[in-house]
Amino acid sequence: MRSRRHRQPEDPYTCMSDQPRTETHAPIVWANVLMFALTFAAAAILVPWYGLTHGFSVADWGVFAFLLVANGMAITAGYHRLWAHRTYEAHWTLRLVYLVFGTMALQNSVFAWCSGHRTHHLYVDDEERDPYSARRGFWFSHIGWMLRKYPSGREDFRNIPDLKKDPMLVFQHRHYVPLAVAWCGATTSPFSSTRSPTCGAADPTPRKIPRVTIRCWR
Ligand SMILES: [Zn+2]
């Protein structure tokens, strides 16, 4: 048992274990491997195939553009700036919007994301403690760190005592998988019935597919 004199301070950015997280032959996290493999296959094969054989409607492009922006903003403005760094405060309605679209971005719960990100900043590029250290290569820092149960990626929620007080975040963490499945399905499935049944490659007079321009700004 840990003695009193070894207790960690309450600052969420410093209350982490000092024990080195030396790498071993980490076991594969099959749920993550399957999730990345299947979503990549769907994006690289199923989506182009569907576009060529059925075409995409205006509603499809609209949903694509909306979710691209909404999910991205939920992660960068919500998960990252609001919850991980506490850069600003937000009304519960905005936090709920961030929570819904952040869940749909499939980047795990706010607890898991923010705890890992605070550890990342605390030990940035320390190969033994940074969960996604850039020093371990492009593949590891972007994808590889999620595919194996590395000691450096061990969850330690002692650095998010502030987030544990928010009941919405507690609820999202406890029910993350069913919420992600339900919200992703509920948002995308109604729009699949909005396209014209005659629009597509098999149509002798295919409709011109409108172009959607997405602007990015800083
Ligand atoms: Zn950051």
- Output the CA 187–ligand 1 centroid distance in Å: 29
How many A from CA of 85 to the centre of ligand 1?
Answer: 7
Measure the CA–CA gap between 85 and 99, rounded to whole angstroms. Answer: 16
pTM for the whole thing? 0.76
Distance between Cα 117 and ligand 1 center (Å): 6
Task: Provide the pLDDT for residue 41.
Answer: 94
pLDDT, tens digit, 9 for 90 and up, residues 36-65: 999 999 999 999 999 999 999 998 899 899
Cα of 169 from ligand 1 centre, angstroms: 19
pLDDT at 6 over 50: no
Report the separation in Å between the CA atom of 41 and the middle of ligand 1, taken as the mean of its atom positions.
30
pLDDT at 106: 93
Distance 3 CA to ligand 1 centre (A): 32
Least confident of 4-13, 94-103, 184-193: 4-13
The mean per-residue pLDDT over the stretch 105-119 comes to 95
What is the whole-number distance in angstroms between the Cα of residue 116 and the centre of ligand 1? 10
Instruction: Using the mean position of ligand 1's atoms as its centre, give its distance from the Cα of residue 214 in Å.
Output: 25
Distance 199 CA to ligand 1 centre (A): 44
Q: Distance between terminal CA atoms of the chain? A: 49
- Please, are residues 55 and 192 in contact by the beta-carbon 8 Å criterion? no
